[in-house]
Amino acid sequence: MNKAAFDSKIMAKAVQLAQKGVYTTHPNPRVGCIITKNQKIIGQGYHQRAGQPHAEINALNSLQDKAQAKGATAYVTLEPCSHTGKTPPCANALIDTGIRRVVIAMQDPNPQVAGQGIERLKAAGIDVEVGILEQQARELNPGFIKRMEQGLPWVRVKLAMSLDGRTAMASGESQWITGPQARADVQRYRARADAILTGIGAVLADDPSLNVRLTAEEMGIEGAVRQPLRVILDSQLQTPLDAKLLDLAGKTIIFVSKTALSNKDLTEKISFFEAKGVEILSVKNDATGYLSLKNILQLLAKKEINEVHVEAGATLGGALIQQGLADEILIYMAPIFMGSDARGLLELPGLNQMKDKINLNINDIRAVGKDWRLSLVLASL
The residues carrying an active-site annotation are: 56
Please report, for residues 242, 266, 272, 292, 316, the alpha-carbon distance to residue 237 in angstroms, rounded to integers and kept in the order given: 13, 8, 12, 16, 16
Q: What is the DSSP letter of 175?
A: T
User: Within 13 Å, how many C-alpha atoms sit on residue 319's CB side?
Assistant: 17
Please spell the DSSP secondary structure of 207-266, one letter per residue: ----S----HHHHT-SSPPPPPEEEEE-TT----TT-GGGGSSS-EEEEEEHHHHT-GGG
How many Å separate Cα 34 from the centre of its chain? 24
Please report, for residues 24, 240, 345, the alpha-carbon distance to residue 261 in angstroms, rounded to integers and kept in the order given: 34, 16, 32
Q: What's the CA gap between 240 and 200, in Å, rounded? A: 10
Count of CB atoms situated within 10 Å of the CB of 176: 10
The answer to whether 252 and 229 are in contact (CB under 8 A) is yes
Q: What is the DSSP letter of 291?
A: B
- What are residue 130's DSSP bridge partners? 104
The answer to whether 127 and 99 are in contact (CB under 8 A) is no
Segments of 124-184 assigned E as strands: 127-130, 154-162, 166-168
